[in-house]
Amino acid sequence: MRLRISSAPGDKLAAQAALLAGYLSEENHFATETTLADGGDIHLALTLPPRPLAAKLKAAGFADEAYRLTVTPEQILLEAASPDGVARGIQSLRQLLSGQRARLFVAGMVVDDAPALGWRGLHLDVSRHFRDVADVKRFIDLAAYHKFNLFHWHLTDDQGWRLPVEGYPRLMEVAAWRDATMIGHNSTSSKNPTDGIPHGGAYTADEIREVVAYAAMRGVHILPEVDVPGHVQALVTAYPEFGNTGGRPGVREGWGISDNTLNLEPATFVFLEKVVATLADLFPFHYLHFGGDEAKVGEWAASPRIQEQKRELGLASDHDVQDYFTARLHELTRARGRAMIGWDEIIEHGQPPVDTAVMLWRDSTINQHHLDVKALRAGNPLVLANHSQTYFDAYQETGAGIDFEPLAIGGGLPVEKVYGWRPLTDYPAELREGVLGAQAQLWAEYIPTRRHLDYMTYPRACALAQVLWTGDAREAWDAFDERLGGHLTRLDRLGVAYRPRQPKT
The catalytic residues are: 157, 231, 294
476: left (phi over 0), alpha (psi -120 to 50) or beta: beta
Output the DSSP codes for 313-376: HT--STHHHHHHHHHHHHHHHHHTT-EEEEEGGGGTSS---TT-EEEE-SPTTTSTT-HHHHHH
Query: The pTM is what?
Result: 0.97
Q: 404: pLDDT confidence band, cut at 50, 70 and 90? A: confident
Task: Return residue ranges of the chain for CATH 3.30.379.10.
Answer: 3-113
- Write down the pLDDT at residue 357: 98
Phi then psi dihedrals of residue 59, to 5 deg: -65, -30
Task: Return residue ranges of the chain for CATH 3.20.20.80.
Answer: 119-493
Q: 364: pLDDT confidence band, cut at 50, 70 and 90? A: confident
Q: In what order do the strands lie in the sheet with 109-113?
A: 32-35, 3-7, 42-45, 76-80, 67-71, 109-113
* Rounded (10°) angle between helices 205-217 and 14-28: 90
State which fold the 3-113 domain adopts.
Chitobiase; domain 2 (3.30.379)
Residue spans of beta strands (DSSP E) within 211-354: 221-228, 287-291, 339-343
CB 159 within 8 A of CB 234: yes
- Write down the pLDDT at residue 19: 98
- Write down the pLDDT at residue 397: 84
Tell me the pLDDT of the chain averaged across its residues.
95
pLDDT tens digits, 450-475? 999 999 999 999 999 999 999 999 99
Regarding the domain with residue range 119-493, which homologous superfamily does it belong to in the CATH classification?
Answer: Glycosidases (3.20.20.80)
Average pLDDT score over residue span 182-195:
83
CB 4 within 8 A of CB 40: yes
